[in-house]
């Protein structure tokens, strides 16, 4: 069975009312045959979500649909050429942060990793490329209280994955696990 077949069963990318932002969830197969995901850590000087570990993404411009916005933002933040996007695999459940009326649309894509990613220093402090196998290891995840909510946290040496991005990642991991059982 093709290792990408599980990801191809993701639901279609949606465009819910109020969605002003989109993120790309870039996945690639490394030289050892492991699937990896590309995340970034935002610089501490940013006005919103400083120091957070996130997927490349941001606000839509003009009449962009979520896929177009996610691809443009990935180019701007990590210099992922659109030609390196092999296929859009599907979408994850849109997530909100502080503003509950403006969901963020996650777009999952299979990519050919370029020879190097180039981080835009205004938006990206470091690029993190964990193996999906490590993210699937439940012993590495923690649940912690946060302002009356219980959230998921995953620590990397470079930073902590939590909040909306952790919710998106957990949605992707749930999908992968359900596909592996099928």
Mean pLDDT, range 52-78, rounded to an integer: 96
- Domain extents in the chain: 7-131
pLDDT of residue 51: 80
Integer CA distances (angstroms), 53 to 18, 47, 115, 146, in order: 24, 15, 22, 17
Is 3.90.79.10 the CATH number for 7-131? yes
Average pLDDT over residues 82-99: 91
**Dihedral Cα 13, 16, 22, 27, nearest 10 deg:** -20
The tens digit of pLDDT for each residue in 124-144 reads: 999 999 999 999 999 999 999
pLDDT digits (tens, 9 = 90+) for 152-180: 999 999 999 999 999 999 999 999 998 87
Pairing verdict, β 126-128 and 104-111 = unpaired
């Amino acid at each position: 069975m093709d290792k990408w077949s599980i990801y191809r069963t993701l639901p279609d990318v949606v465009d819910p009312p109020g969605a002003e932002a989109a993120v790309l969830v870039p996945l690639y197969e490394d030289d050892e045959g492991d699937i990896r995901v590309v995340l970034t850590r935002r610089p501490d000087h940013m006005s919103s979500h400083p120091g957070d570990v996130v997927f490349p993404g941001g606000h839509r411009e003009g009449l962009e649909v979520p896929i177009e916005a996610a691809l443009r933002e990935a180019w701007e933040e990590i210099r992922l050429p659109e030609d390196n996007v092999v296929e859009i695999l599907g979408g994850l459940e849109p997530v909100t942060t502080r503003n509950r009326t403006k969901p963020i649309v996650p777009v999952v894509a299979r990519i050919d990793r370029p020879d190097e990613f180039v981080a835009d220093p205004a938006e990206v402090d470091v690029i993190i490329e964990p193996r999906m196998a490590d993210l699937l290891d439940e012993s590495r995840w923690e649940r912690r209280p946060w302002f009356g909510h219980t959230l998921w946290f995953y620590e990397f040496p470079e930073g902590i994955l939590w909040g909306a991005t952790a919710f998106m990642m957990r949605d992707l991991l749930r999908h992968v696990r359900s596909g592996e059982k099928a």
